[in-house]
Structure 1
């Protein structure tokens, strides 16, 4: 057994409250946050249209383009790997919390 503390890759978050500071640390670049916000907003519009038009393909399109915007932010601006790969649920929740904080001007756009 190692007496060393776990590395970032070995960390397991027991709650979203514990995870969210890590999430924010992975979204420091303003362009990345803007891309996340834009992608999530377009995803919401596509979800609304999917419901209105009863078209399930628009749900898929919303997810794909939402993640595409976010991943551009990670790969080209943050230069990190999206937490979605390791923490899919908490990352999804983090996206929406950050989106709300930007929308309500609690966090810089």
Structure 2
């Protein structure tokens, strides 16, 4: 079980914690914007050989997510405790959204089906 700071021993423990930290739908929308922007910036940098733009890839990805955590979800991004698992989970969440399977994962993690849902403590 994840502690207050989101410390998890395994990824299977982390995944439901990650979903609960993204309970408000608007938070996920902001994440999806960043999850789309980062590869677009990466592709632009590679295709145009604008190498300095590679520095903008993490900025594009994290800016939107961190705005959501600060102003929508009002929590600390899981990136600070589990950077790689967070990156993997962000794209996993995005993929599940695109394939229509995110709702069932959210329910399994204990996230209520409500626009401003917060998981039960």
Same fold (TM over 0.5): yes
TM-score (norm. length: structure 2): 0.76
Counterpart of 1:88 in structure 2 is: 83
Q: How many residues align?
A: 103
Q: Which of residues 8, 12, 21 is equivalent to 1:12?
A: 8
Q: Specify the SS of the correspondent of 2:54.
A: helix
Output the aligned Cα RMSD. Answer: 1.9
- Return 5+ residue gaps in structure 2 as ranges: 104-121
TM-score (norm. length: structure 1): 0.83
Instruction: From the superposition, tell whether residues 105 and 9 of structure 1 become closer, same or farther in structure 2 (CA, over 3 Å).
Output: same
Residue 60 of structure 1: CA displacement? 1.8
- Return 5+ residue gaps in structure 1 as ranges: none
Q: Which protein is bigger by CA-based radius of gyration?
A: 1
Q: Specify the SS of the correspondent of 1:8.
A: coil
